[in-house]
Amino acid sequence: MGTHDHVLVIDSATEPGVICTFDDAVRDFELLSNRPELYMCGLDLSTGSSEGFPEPEPVFEHFIERRSFMTLNAKL
């Protein structure tokens, strides 16, 4: 995940996720959600949109998963 400048943070299947920098996500990992499950994956930003805005491209195979506040699973 450290090869990505940004990450996508998700803590709910029904709520939208948050895009933030990798450094902010690692530093504030415990503050990002008060829910027991938290998922974070690498995210690349491309300039592919017609308006010139960056398009987010999640890289789901690079992830960190927190379960029940206690267990971390990762594929980096």
Q: Helices (H), strands (E): how many in the chain? A: 1, 5
Measure the CA–CA gap between 55 and 66, rounded to whole angstroms.
26
- Average pLDDT of the residues in 5-9: 93
Per-residue confidence (pLDDT) for residue 42, from 0 to 100: 94
The reported pTM is 0.79
C-alpha angle 13-32-44 in degrees, rounded to nearest 5? 75
pLDDT class of 50 with cuts at 50, 70, 90? low
> For 36-49, how does the pLDDT look when each residue is reduced to its tens digit (9 = 90+)?
888 999 999 887 66
What's the pLDDT at 58? 93
